[in-house]
Amino acid sequence: MMPGSLVRMILVLAMWAEAGAEPPLSQAGESAADKAVDIGSRLELFVDRLLVDHLDHVEFRLHRPQRVPLGETPLVGSYATVIKDGDLYRAYYRAVKPGYSGSTHDGHPGEITCYQESTDGANWVKPNLGLIEIDGSRENNVILAQPGCCHNFSPFLDTRPDVDPAKRFKALAGVHRSGGLRAFVSADGIRWRTIRDEPLITSADFAFDSQNVTFWSEAEACYACYFRTWETPHGRLRTISRTTSTDFVNWSKPVPMHPNLPGEHLYTNQTHPYFRAPHLYVALPTRFMHGKIRGQAVKGNIGSTDILFMTSRAGTTSYERLFTEAFIRPGLDPERWGNRSNYAALNVVPTGESEISIYHQKSGHRYVLRTDGFISIQAGAAPGELGTKPLRFRGSHLVLNYSTSAAGSVQVEIQDAAGNPLPGFRRTDCQPLVGDQIAGTVGWQGAPDLGGLGGSANPFEVCDDRMRPVFVPLRR
């Protein structure tokens, strides 16, 4: 790629296109080069404002996950984690020993960690693992039963390229409320061992009684951990901090993320790389509103919860919240309006070519979205446009995730950094995209190949990979 060689994309979104009714294309400013974003050949979703220069008669739209009917054997469990490992879905959750009637404080003697698995992501089985004796029998699905040392066990599949096969799975778990986090490893995701007796992340100021989530960041080339801390500017609120490590043993000083709104507690964070774009971290925190239940103020440490949608980018210490409203609401069921009634399991996973799933821990329901369909750019009945900041990217094709109405269409114009349309890549050269596709290739004058720009003015570096989507679904 030639230094300083930039392009700008204009996406024209219309319900119809008539002669003389086309929207004007905005021009780039003189400081365009300073705003250039290098996206390589990776997938980008419009879940934040990083790529967006302007929106004219279009808007960001938050999409609601749709609840599907319960399967015959749904996944139900507290502080759950769902991992897609090849063709197998693995699930981990907190439970209580059968017949236990003692204290239920954090890390209580009756706490156990259980395992389920599924081949379709909808129906789950509890295998008899034979690992832990419970009430005189090993015929159960328990993988850990060590009081006080594996509280809110939260594993991940380590995708580090040179990972030791004996440590293919890793996890952090709280010793108790303020005792810190211990590290666990496993070859098969079922049989676990600690790598050190003492906690690796400790502080009396932190509360480790929530799900403490960790993953290998491909984009940052390190492990990242997001866990509960306290926020004081708006009162003493439960919030989120982040720490990193290159070896899973030695961790950096935690940095607060400051995502809270006034009066808003965040019980969990559920931050993880989106599987189709691992440089983008999706977060589905549980929001707790103290002293409110079904719209009425109450006394005591009780209130209502719902589930939010936030994102963060690799290497940053803040969250983007395009929408501060609820992503998943409690709904009509009175049981969903309690203090601990709305938790999303860790990880959004694919459950079909065009479907991704979110698991609700309390009810066992699965919620689905279109692939990449968290947030879209949406047009109404009038034509509108989205203009990107100047982009540097490598690839020979541009692929969009789009959905139009029968009267709608999408077109793309490519401009130079000064806002001048590139010959052959004007909007009028672009074949309108009409229909509904997860990965529809854009074509100009009947050809989708961007490498044909050629010459010293070529702003693209052609590589073997197709240019992956830079767009999320349009809804009308």
pLDDT 10s digits, 57-66: 999 999 999 9
Q: CA of 312: how far to CAs of 79, 242, 243, 263, 280, in Å?
A: 21, 11, 14, 22, 6
The residue assigned the tokens 């719902």 is: 306
Residue 465 pLDDT level (bands cut at 50, 70, 90): very low
Residue 64 neighbours by CB distance under 10 Å: 11
Q: CA of 284: how far to CAs of 258, 409, 462, in Å?
A: 15, 32, 36
Mean per-residue pLDDT, 267-281: 96
Mean per-residue pLDDT, 379-401: 89
Residue 452 pLDDT level (bands cut at 50, 70, 90): low
Residue 129 neighbours by CB distance under 10 Å: 16
- Is the pLDDT at 349 greater than 80? The verdict is yes
CA distance 141 to 185: 18
The encoded tokens of residue 15 equal 């319900």
Residue 15 pLDDT level (bands cut at 50, 70, 90): very low
User: What pLDDT is stored for residue 22 in this prediction?
Assistant: 36
User: What pLDDT is stored for residue 363 in this prediction?
Assistant: 78
The encoded tokens of residue 99 equal 């017949």
| 31-40, 333-342, 373-382, 460-469 — most confident range | 373-382
- Is the pLDDT at 328 greater than 70? The verdict is yes
pTM, rounded to two decimals: 0.88
CA dihedral of residues 165, 120, 278, 59 (deg, nearest 10): -170
Q: Which residues, other chains included, contact 137 with Cβ-Cβ below 8 Å and sequence gap of 6+?
A: none
User: What pLDDT is stored for residue 430 in this prediction?
Assistant: 93
List 61's β-bridge partners, or say none.
Answer: 376
In three-state secondary structure terms, 167 is helix
Q: Among 146-150, 310-314, 347-351, 462-466, which stretch is predicted with the lowest mean pLDDT?
A: 462-466
CATH 2.115.10.20 segments of the chain: 66-372
CA distance 290 to 406: 46
Q: Which residues, other chains included, contact 156 with Cβ-Cβ below 8 Å and sequence gap of 6+?
A: 81, 83, 169, 170, 171, 213, 214, 215, 216, 272
Residue 406 neighbours by CB distance under 10 Å: 8
- Is the pLDDT at 168 greater than 90? The verdict is yes
Positive or negative torsion for Cα 254, 259, 264, 265: negative
- CATH superfamily of the 66-372 domain: Glycosyl hydrolase domain; family 43 (2.115.10.20)
In three-state secondary structure terms, 413 is strand
Q: Tell me what percent of the residues of the chain surpass a pLDDT of 70.
A: 82
The residue assigned the tokens 């100009």 is: 444
Strands (E), 97-221: 111-118, 142-144, 151-157, 169-174, 181-186, 192-194, 213-217
Q: Tell me what percent of the residues of the chain surpass a pLDDT of 90.
A: 57
pLDDT, tens only, 19-47: 333 333 334 344 555 668 998 889 999 99
User: What pLDDT is stored for residue 109 in this prediction?
Assistant: 75
User: What pLDDT is stored for residue 103 in this prediction?
Assistant: 66
